[in-house]
Amino acid sequence: MVLLLVATLTYAQQNTDQSKFRQLGTELPTPNTYRTASGAPGESYWQQRVDYDIKVELDDEKQKIKGTEMITYFNNSPHPLTYLWLQLDQNVVHPESDTYKTATNKLGERVSAGQLNGMLDNSFDGGHKIEYVKDGTGKALKFTIVKTMMRVDLPTPLIAKTGKIQLQIGWSYNINDRQNPALGADSRGGYELFPEDGNYLYTITQWFPRLAVYDDYNGWQHKQFLGQGEFTLPFGNYTVAITVPSDHIIAATGALQNAKEVLTADQIKRFEEAKTATKPVVIVTQAEATEKEKTKAKDKKTWVYKAENVRDFAFGSSRKFIWDAMGVKIEGSPVPTVMAMSYYPKEANPLYGHLSTEAVAHTLRVYSKHTIPYPYPVAISVEASNGMEYPMICFNYGRPEKDGTYSDRIKYGMLGVIIHEVGHNFFPMIVNSDERQWTWMDEGLNSFCQFLAEQEWDRSFPSNGGQARNIVGYMKADKEVQNPIMTNSESIIRFGPNAYTKPATALNILRETVMGRELFDFAFREYARRWAFKHPTPYDLFRTMEDASGVDLDWYWRGWFFTTDNVDISLDAVTEFRMDTKNPEIEKPLASKKSKEQLERDVTFQNNKRDLATTAVERNEALKDFYNSYDPNAPAPTDRERYEKYLASLSPKEKAIIEANKSYYQLDLSNQGGLVMPLIIKFEFEDGTSETQRIPAEIWRLNDKKISKVFAFAKPVKQVILDPQEETADVNTENNYYPRRPIPSRFEVFKQEGFTRGASMGSNPMQQAQQQKKAGSN
Ligand SMILES: [Zn+2]
């Protein structure tokens, strides 16, 4: 049997050490008894514990915080400790802060006063003012403040494994204006003044001296806080008593212990109703909150909270708060009813009253399905014109216009941010990764789950992360503005795409394209289960995802997380092959047709047809002989005989291949972007049908630059398309079609006359619709 098909032999041109499929080696730490090669905590895994008993008072007149805390520190580590490190995050807005000093900036031709202020003003008297540090018995301890960190020296070493010590610290600080560009972004919390009614809304975060993490892979994590790398903290139990003006409502981490002392009988009754309600129940109404805005209480109330097994504590406080709640049942949760709750000023209505608590509940349900059941008694969304997360509580943006209308950008932005910030309960509040080192460990994993939750909220939710095509712009950008995902939090150049969108997209591609949903979901849940209430590293994630799924992903982690390569697979050529059947009845007419076609193409033949009326043999029949009518491609009797003999020599299998009479296509592909990826190839046939084949990335294992592969079909192919659903983040789809097709582009024709740009500026579709309705034009 002679086939025209020739298998293309591809030779590995590179030495195996350079293969994109080599196992991760030096990139991973050596497994040990704390962290195993499977990605699970090892038999000697340990982590520190720290409990807090805090009393704090909020001064609404001077915008100050003053507090005392009793810290109980448990040394579970196998090492004696001679000092402890604490975080003083408020020092990020200290006048001498490195954040101010190391911020780079430039003056353009036009700079607003606000921008200039943001660059140069460090006059705010911010930062933790430490009053004292004492041991449990009241004996003063020596402490040294190192910018945003504080070392407390212990008179005797805290013994390994069973050591326990109490510290008492007194402190205060001035609360910053959260909306001041010089202060707001880095301090995460602060106050907002509402000039129309003269009231403040406080979000009190990163507010008490907090023990740093001491662990098996960092020792002390006391890297300075510059603003980007959030924080990492040990787990423990909290009792916090917060004293505020008596007309304030507090939203806080944990369960309220003294409802009868701080809430009215009506509020308590409404709260009880909310537990079994199927939609949010308003506990403090807008009318009640608006009434309170008019006066300022002189007396005070103390709200007491307890929170177990959390890594931090935050709260919001204002007399402006409207408050609603709804009970949520989470299958498998140790808490029978989780209270999804929202607190917001009237300025956030109608959006927050309508959607916030529902979004909280939705987030808990979807995330619990994909990770572990939500284990805490409350989950709170506070409207505070920014976005930041703490255990059980987060602060979110999303404020409508004064007339109550809002744009789709505000609506979906608000839903996205609530899902995102509530979602942070899972990463990093429960699966407690080190944010100061790896932003993507919480932001990326959380943005991925956010995408899942958004798509379960609404099929057409305009999600930012997750969809492969949305990361293309970043991944094809200049390499100078890109870092690998595995870059320290403070050194990331483009924070959003690098630490949020790219890892989220990378995980979604694993789920939809590389591993499939079933294997991915099982492995991802296993990672969350293994590391819930523990401190995972990226390597524990990488290892667990492989260990639980049975899919070798080393090539994927290396390409997507350790490099800035992108995906650009080019379909360079498609060559059609046909098998020589040896059947003279088929092959000879074909050959005859081909030679006639060739003659017809010939330029001299064509021009002579035009220019010569006749040729010599046409003019004179006598010049002709046998060969003027002989067709070398006409089947001869001997051909038939030879073919019968040939058929008799074939095995049944060989005969079947020949009789199938298929069309064969060789696809030549090249890897232009660097990342090896699965091939998703759609074949569109001439009869209008199509077929998609999915080929694992390992097709690139012998040559990661150029490969060829043959496909056979019973019907002719018209078009071949690579990655037809845009699921691989291919940065150049122009070379994904064979034959190539024109790149779609759209011209926008601006009509000069009668076109007034900005005629509808400042209004949103909702507002326009309402105005139209009012005008009766509808
Ligand atoms: Zn986040």
The pLDDT score that the predictor gives to residue 762 is 59
How far apart are alpha carbons 448 and 465 in whole angstroms? 7
Task: Using the mean position of ligand 1's atoms as its centre, give its distance from the Cα of residue 168 in Å.
Answer: 32
Read off the pLDDT of residues 176-211 as tens digits, 9 standing for 90 and up.
Answer: 998 876 665 556 889 999 999 999 999 999 999 999
- At residue 330 the predicted structure's pLDDT band, cuts being 50, 70 and 90, is very high
Q: Is 215 exposed, middle or buried (0-12, 13-18, 19+ CB in 10 A)?
A: buried
The pLDDT score that the predictor gives to residue 761 is 47
Task: Using the mean position of ligand 1's atoms as its centre, give its distance from the Cα of residue 336 in Å.
Answer: 27
Evaluate whether 235 touches 47 at the Cβ level (below 8 Å).
yes
Report the amino acid identity of residue 679: L
pLDDT at 118 over 80: no
The pLDDT score that the predictor gives to residue 583 is 86
The pLDDT score that the predictor gives to residue 3 is 45
Task: Using the mean position of ligand 1's atoms as its centre, give its distance from the Cα of residue 446 in Å.
Answer: 7
pLDDT at 587 over 90: no
Task: Using the mean position of ligand 1's atoms as its centre, give its distance from the Cα of residue 421 in Å.
Answer: 6
DSSP letter assigned to residue 432: -
Instruction: Give the residue among 735, 722, 733 at the shortest CA–CA distance from 684.
Output: 722
Task: Using the mean position of ligand 1's atoms as its centre, give its distance from the Cα of residue 433 in Å.
Answer: 13
Instruction: Give the residue among 398, 393, 426, 245 at the shortest CA–CA distance from 315.
Output: 393
Task: Using the mean position of ligand 1's atoms as its centre, give its distance from the Cα of residue 238 in Å.
Answer: 23
The pLDDT score that the predictor gives to residue 757 is 39
Read off the pLDDT of residues 599-646 as tens digits, 9 standing for 90 and up.
Answer: 888 899 899 999 999 999 999 999 998 888 888 888 788 888 888 898
- At residue 5 the predicted structure's pLDDT band, cuts being 50, 70 and 90, is very low
Task: Using the mean position of ligand 1's atoms as its centre, give its distance from the Cα of residue 508 in Å.
Answer: 17
How far apart are alpha carbons 55 and 600 in whole angstroms? 97
pLDDT at 753 over 60: no
| CA dihedral sign, ordered 206, 212, 216, 219 | positive
Task: Using the mean position of ligand 1's atoms as its centre, give its distance from the Cα of residue 679 in Å.
Answer: 32
Compute how many other C-beta atoms are within 10 angstroms of the C-beta atom of residue 657. 15
Average pLDDT of the chain, as a whole number: 91
Task: Using the mean position of ligand 1's atoms as its centre, give its distance from the Cα of residue 413 in Å.
Answer: 13
pLDDT at 117 over 90: no
Give me the DSSP letters along 305-348: EEEEEES---EEEETT-EEEEEEE--TT-SSSSEEEEEEE-GGG
Task: Using the mean position of ligand 1's atoms as its centre, give its distance from the Cα of residue 598 in Å.
Answer: 66
Task: Using the mean position of ligand 1's atoms as its centre, give its distance from the Cα of residue 173 in Å.
Answer: 26
Task: Using the mean position of ligand 1's atoms as its centre, give its distance from the Cα of residue 392 in Å.
Answer: 14
The pLDDT score that the predictor gives to residue 187 is 63
Tokens of 245: 């003006």
Tokens of 370: 């994909």
- At residue 15 the predicted structure's pLDDT band, cuts being 50, 70 and 90, is low
Contacts of 753 (CB under 8 A, 6+ apart): none
Number of helices followed by number of strands (H, E) in the chain: 22, 30
Task: Using the mean position of ligand 1's atoms as its centre, give its distance from the Cα of residue 566 in Å.
Answer: 24
Task: Using the mean position of ligand 1's atoms as its centre, give its distance from the Cα of residue 738 in Å.
Answer: 41
Read off the pLDDT of residues 767-776 as tens digits, 9 standing for 90 and up.
Answer: 888 887 776 6
Task: Using the mean position of ligand 1's atoms as its centre, give its distance from the Cα of residue 466 in Å.
Answer: 14
Choice among 108-112, 150-154, 340-344, 719-723 with the minimum mean pLDDT: 108-112
Task: Using the mean position of ligand 1's atoms as its centre, give its distance from the Cα of residue 743 in Å.
Answer: 37
Q: Is 738 exposed, middle or buried (0-12, 13-18, 19+ CB in 10 A)?
A: buried
The pLDDT score that the predictor gives to residue 776 is 61
CA 704 to chain centre: 27
Task: Using the mean position of ligand 1's atoms as its centre, give its distance from the Cα of residue 445 in Å.
Answer: 9
The pLDDT score that the predictor gives to residue 184 is 52
Rounded mean pLDDT, 529-554: 98
Instruction: Give the residue among 207, 84, 58 at the shortest CA–CA distance from 152.
Output: 84
Task: Using the mean position of ligand 1's atoms as its centre, give its distance from the Cα of residue 77 in Å.
Answer: 30
Evaluate whether 713 touches 683 at the Cβ level (below 8 Å).
yes
Read off the pLDDT of residues 453-500 as tens digits, 9 standing for 90 and up.
Answer: 999 999 989 998 889 999 999 999 999 999 999 999 889 999 999 999
Read off the pLDDT of residues 205-255 as tens digits, 9 standing for 90 and up.
Answer: 999 999 999 999 999 999 988 877 778 899 999 999 999 999 999 999 999
- At residue 11 the predicted structure's pLDDT band, cuts being 50, 70 and 90, is very low
Rounded mean pLDDT, 389-399: 95
